[in-house]
Amino acid sequence: MNLFKRYFGLIFLVLAPFIVYELVHGALANIKAGGTKEINNPVIWVMVIIIFMPIIIGLVIFGWYAFRGEFDYIPQKSKELD
């Protein structure tokens, strides 16, 4: 199970920059100067990117800790936290 957690940490570390790239690429591809639909509005894309950035940062942090093995042992009782 610990190896499984480390692999998922590596997957999350690789997945996060890909998600950022796809968000920015999608924004640049859909924003048009003469567009009249809601998807062409740059304000909406900026809001979407701002909302998803903390999620992506959390994905990187979780992936880094999982890859390093910080979650290999999970305490079962509060006495084990010391």
Residue 46 lies inside a defined structural domain of this protein: yes
**At 50, which amino acid appears?**
I
* pLDDT score recorded for residue 8: 92
* pLDDT score recorded for residue 19: 95
Greatest alpha-carbon pair distance for the chain in Å reads: 63
Neighbours of 73 (CB within 10 A): 9
Taking 50 as the pLDDT cut, the residues of the chain under it are: none
* pLDDT score recorded for residue 16: 95
* pLDDT score recorded for residue 34: 65
Q: What domain range includes position 32?
A: 2-70
Q: Which residue has the tokens 């942090």?
A: 61
Per the structure, the count of domains in the chain is 1
Residue 19 lies inside a defined structural domain of this protein: yes
* pLDDT score recorded for residue 79: 84
